[in-house]
Amino acid sequence: MRLTCCFLAVCLLPASAIASSGEVHRLAEQFDQRFRAVLAQEHIPGGAYAVVYNGMPIRVGVAGTADMRTGRPVDPDTIFRVGSVSKGFAATVAGLLAREGRFAWSDPIARYVPDFHFRGNPRAISIGDVVGQSTGFIPHAYDNLLEAGKPLREIWRHFATLAPICQPGSCYTYQNSAFGLIEPVLEQSAKEPYTKLIDDRLFKPLGMSDASTGYGAYWGSSDRAAPHVEVRQKRWRAVTVEPNYYAVNSAAGVNASIKDMAEWAIAALGHRPDVLPPAVLNRVMTPRVHTERELHRKHWRDCLDNAWYGLGWRIYQLGDEELVYHAGWVQGFVAEIALSRRHDLGLVILLNGESNAISELGSQFWPHAFEVLDRPVVAGGPNTTAASAVP
């Protein structure tokens, strides 16, 4: 196994220790110390994290300020933008509707968005290709227009000049504007607006009371984190949230607190089958297309042995271990969610400053966690699997 990412606290536990609920709590305590140290070292304005295990949020931590202009502290209900982590919400709702027979993943996108054109067979791109980041278009096609504030349907008209660079469904080409094609599919299938669909199918039943979708909803919250950008080394400035990426809510429009994201991680790990049936989770979290570039990603490249994209979720291979993962980055905010389904363990991190420290934190946590959780059982000792480690 190539689990060579460094974790500063790796030597704190004796080699003879047995993985247990107590060890997971110690992992969370060590992460808390590291999280606070990194935010302090980098002068990152504020952040929050949650460690969930065996269906429970065993540690939720917050640090710093929600807005440097006012000094208001981050609290567990402070909402952050989660950026591209929003794609997992969209994909999971799509999975629910597909399971109900509202559409099939293999349906051509042209059936639902007939005015979307590109240079090629209009039926070649399926719904699964859109959500699975395998449309074949050049990566990040027309994100510049999205950032310029152009309406999504106007941006889609520009695709008429593009031809896929590979056969749709055969290669990974990450998109935001094209990912938004899933929204009319879901709205036509469910007969309700996308924002209401996400609210009714996910946020409300999962008890995500602070969560919302869209630009107006962000400003409608009185407990919101402000975005911050680094103007000089370790010097930050608060900026105004722009509406641009909210034009594609399915790709980048979710606002949520760390309490919300803990509930989302618990549900995504399979503890809310009443809301998210196992068959839906299995479908969206199954690898579909190889993502070679992820293997060279800073901080993660020394950990990863393979990487894929499923449906709205990434799948990372670290030695014999698998992580279901996604990161998000929009102006002034970064987010990360990672789930070990085998060990029933999840980590969510939210920061209100654009910083690569988030990937450093995640890539340090997981190899150490796997080392602890994979230690062999001693005679008469407790089982180390996540399902039975908590009494």
Model confidence at 227, pLDDT cuts 50, 70, 90, reads very high
What's CA 127's distance to the chain center, in Å?
20
Mean pLDDT of 29-55: 97
Model confidence at 5, pLDDT cuts 50, 70, 90, reads low
Q: Does position 17 have pLDDT exceeding 60, yes or no?
A: no
CATH of 41-95+191-359, one of 3.30.1280.10, 3.40.710.10, 3.10.150.10, 3.40.50.300: 3.40.710.10
Distance CA 337, CA 283 (A): 18
Domains in the chain: boundaries: 41-95+191-359
For residue 386, the 8-state DSSP code is T
Task: Name residue, tokens 């520009």.
Answer: 158
pLDDT, tens digit, for every residue of 69-124?
999 999 999 999 999 999 999 999 999 999 999 999 999 999 999 999 999 998 99
Q: Nearest Cα to 187, choosing from 141, 124, 250?
A: 250
What are the start-end ranges of the H helices in 333-375?
357-373
> How much of the chain exceeds pLDDT 90, in percent?
87
* Token pair belonging to 176: 């935001």
Distance CA 326, CA 340 (A): 13
Distance CA 131, CA 88 (A): 9
The full DSSP string for 133-192 is T-S-SPTTTTHHHHHTT--HHHHHHHGGG---SS-TTSS----STTGGGHHHHHHHHHTS
